[in-house]
Structure 1
Amino acid sequence: MAQMSKGKYTNIQACADQKGVIAAAAMDQRGSLRQAIAKARGGEVSDAELLEFKTAVTKILTPHASAILMDVEYGLPAIEARAPGTGVLLAYEKSGYDTNVKGRLPDLLPEWSVRRLVEAGANAIKILLYYNPFDDPHINRIKHAYIERIGAECAGLDVPFFLEPIAYDDNLGNEKGFEFAKVKPKYVAAYMEEFSKERYGVDVLKVELPFNITFVEGTSAFGGTAAYTRAQALADLKATASAAGKPFIYLSAGVSDAVFRESLELAAEAGVPFSGVLCGRATWQDGIPAYAKQGVQALEDWLADRGVQNIESLNQVLAKAAKPWWTIYGAEPVVG
C-alpha cells in the first residue's frame, strides 16, 4: 500500500471531487490566449484584458470543476473569483521556449518558487515540459535534472507536483501532422514510464492521449488519412496506461469539446484507469470571439450557456469512466 505525506494527500484531494476524480479547468494560457483574442479582434490585447477573460472563465466554470489551473503573471487575482471548495494549481514554468536553442529547454519563472506559489494559494504545482524520450541524451539530462529539482522543492514544501510532458520530435515536423501521429503512442508511453520514477517526485501526470484522433479510423473526427485503426487506438491507450506508475489525467490539447469527449470515450472503452482531466481550451475557446468583439458581458453570457454545457458534458463522461486518483496504488494511500 502506498505511503503519502499528509500535505500531498490533502492537496491532491483538494483538487479532486468527492469521488477522488480530478475534473479541473485550465486557464493558464498566456501568449497563446493573447494571440487568439488579438486575432479575433484584429487589434492589441492588454494585460488587464487577459485578467478580465481569466476571471470570467474562473467565475462561471469553477462551480462545475474540482480545480482551476492558473498562471501567476496575468491571472493570479482571478483565482479569488473561483467557487468555494475549488482547488488551485499554479503554473511554475515560463510560457513557451527559446526557438534559437536546440531542445525546447524549459525555464522557471524567475521571481517565483514553490514556497511563493503556495503562499499565493497553490494546492499543487504544475510544470509543462516539452519532452522527446529519444532526443540527444545531453538535452534529456538537462530536463531530467530540472524535474528532479522541482520534485525535491515540492517535497520540501509538502505540496503535490503535477507534471505535463508534451511529446515532440523536431525531426518529424509538426506535432499535429501524420508522421508524428504514427510515433506518438511510443513517445507518450516512454515519458509516462520515465516520469513515474520516484527520483522525479511527480505525484500526478497530466498527459496527452496517445493518438491524434484526426488519424483514427472510425471516429467522427477522422480526417481521411489513417495512422491507426480504432483497435490500435484502444491498444495504445492500454499500453500507455500500463506504463504509468503514477496517477494520470488527460489534457485536451486545444481540440474541440466534442473531439475531446470522443477521445475520452475511447479511453473509457479501453478501460484505462485515468483519474480525470485538466481541460482548458476545449471548454472555453469558442467564447473568444464573443469577448474580442463584444466584451466581457458577452463572454460571460457565452460561458454561462455553451461553456457550462461543455464542461457538464465532459463531467458526464468522467462520471462514467474516470477512476479515483489513488486507483493506480490499488488502495487509498496511507497518510504519513
Structure 2
Amino acid sequence: MTPNKYKQLEKMSNNDGIIAALAIDQRGSLKKMLASYSDTPNENDIVEFKKAISSELTPYASSILLDPEYGLPAAKVRADNTGLLVAYEKTGYDTTEPGRMPDLIPEWSVKNLKEAGADSIKFLLYIDIDEDKKINEQKEAFVERIGSECVAEDIPLFVELVSYDANITDAKSSEYAKVKPHKVIEAMREFSKPRYNIDVLKVEVPINLDYVDGYNGSNLSVYTKDEALNYFKEQSEATDLPYIFLSAGVSAETFRTELILAKEAGADFNGVLCGRATWKGAIEPYAKDGEEAGIEWMDTEGKKNIEELNNVLKETATPWFKKVRQTV
C-alpha cells in the first residue's frame, strides 16, 4: 500500500486501527423512509437529514460514508478528524436487463471526488457469484476500471459486495439463507484478487441470524450455531484484505450479536460501516415532528447505538494495519 493510501486509511480509523464508520449514503431509499412519515419530503429534506446525522453522530464515529448528490453539505459539518468516504455508484441498479448491472454517477470521477474532499472511495456491487459468466465478467471489468482510477489518484478503494441469487426473489427467506454463505464467501474470494486494486472489502455477514439455531425464534433453523461460526471463520480465511461488516438494515442489537459471533469464530475482521442500525429510529421523529425532535433522538438513542457498537468493536475487531504492508 502506498504511503498516501495508508495515511488516508488511518483517517478512516480510530486510534486502535479499527474502522468504526457511520454510513448514510442512501438516496432513493432514504427519501422513501422519510416519505413514510411525511406527505411531502423533498430533495432538501434529504440534505438536511444527512447534515443532522453528520453533525450529531460523527463525534462518536471514526469516519462517515456519504454520497456526492445529497451528502457533501453533510461532509462540511462532520466532526474534526472524522474521515470521509464517498460513494461513486449510482443508487440502485439497472432493472431493464438481467444481472443488476452497476453504473457510476455520470458527473463525477475519482479525481473530482478526491478534489471534493474524499479520503476514500466506495463502490457498491450487487453480485451473484453463480450468475451467467458474461454478466460477471462485465462486473469484474467494471471494478477493475474503478480500481485503476483509484490507483491513478492514489486514494483507497472500498468495495461493498451485496450478494443475491438471480433465482431467489426474497433475500430474507430461508431459501436464500441456505445459499447465502456460499454467495458471500465466494464473492469475497474473487474480489480479493490483486487485479481489482481493492484496499478494503465491505461485506455482509455470511449467515442470516434469523435462521441460526438458538437465535431464530419461531423461524426455521437453517444453521446450527457451530455451522454459523464455521462460516464466519471460512469467510475470514477467504481474503487477505482488510474487511469490514455492513449492517444490512438489521437492528443495532442484531448487528452487535453478529459481531460477537464473528469474534467467537476467530474471524479477523477490521471494523464496520454501520448505517440504518444506528440512525433509522431518527426518521420518524424527524419527519413527523421536525428537526429538533430528530436531533433529540440522535443525541440520545443514536449516540447510545454508536457507543454500544464501539464497545463491541473494542472486544471483537482487529486493526487493519496488521494486514497491510506500506510501500516506500
User: Is 1:39 paired with 2:36?
Assistant: yes
Structure-to-structure mapping, 1:139-178, within 5 angstroms: 139-178=135-174
| 8 A contact 2:60–2:307 mirrored in 1 | yes
Structure-to-structure mapping, 1:241-320, within 5 angstroms: 241-320=236-315
3-state secondary structure, aligned to 2:210: helix
Q: 1:211 to 1:150 in 2, by over 3 A?
A: same
Partner of 2:327: 335
Partner of 1:203: 199
User: Is 1:24 paired with 2:21?
Assistant: yes
**Structure 1 residue 217: deviation in Å?**
1.1
Deviations 1:252-311 (A, max 9, x none): 000111111111111111121100000000000011100110111111000000000000
Partner of 1:187: 183
| 8 A contact 1:125–1:161 mirrored in 2 | yes
Partner of 1:229: 224
The alignment covers a number of residue pairs equal to: 328
3-state secondary structure, aligned to 2:285: helix
Bigger mean CA deviation after superposition, 84-93 or 260-269: 260-269
Q: Give the whole-Å Cα distance in 2 for the aligned partners of 1:305 and 1:154.
A: 38
Partner AA of 1:253 in structure 2: A
**Structure 1 residue 175: deviation in Å?**
1.0
3-state secondary structure, aligned to 2:159: strand
3-state secondary structure, aligned to 1:165: strand
Normalising by structure 2, we get a TM-score of 0.98
Bigger mean CA deviation after superposition, 70-79 or 221-230: 221-230
3-state secondary structure, aligned to 1:335: coil
Q: Give the whole-Å Cα distance in 1 for the aligned partners of 2:19 and 2:77.
A: 20
| 8 A contact 1:167–1:184 mirrored in 2 | yes
Deviations 1:25-55 (A, max 9, x none): 00100000100110122x1211111011001
Partner AA of 1:31 in structure 2: G
Structure 1 unaligned spans of 5+: none
Q: Give the whole-Å Cα distance in 1 for the aligned partners of 2:305 and 2:12.
A: 20
Q: 1:145 to 1:36 in 2, by over 3 A?
A: same
Partner of 1:13: 10
**Structure 1 residue 170: deviation in Å?**
2.1
| 8 A contact 2:55–2:79 mirrored in 1 | yes
3-state secondary structure, aligned to 1:196: coil
Partner AA of 1:283 in structure 2: T
User: Is 1:128 paired with 2:124?
Assistant: yes
Picking from 46, 49, 52, the partner of 1:50 is: 46
**Structure 1 residue 223: deviation in Å?**
4.3
Bigger mean CA deviation after superposition, 168-177 or 13-22: 168-177
**Structure 1 residue 222: deviation in Å?**
3.9
Normalising by structure 1, we get a TM-score of 0.96
Q: Give the whole-Å Cα distance in 2 for the aligned partners of 1:223 and 1:69.
A: 35
Tell me how large the CA RMSD over aligned residues is: 0.9
Q: 1:223 to 1:131 in 2, by over 3 A?
A: farther
**Structure 1 residue 224: deviation in Å?**
2.1
Q: Give the whole-Å Cα distance in 1 for the aligned partners of 2:114 and 2:168.
A: 39
3-state secondary structure, aligned to 1:40: coil
Deviations 1:33-80 (A, max 9, x none): 100110122x12111110110011001110000000000111111111
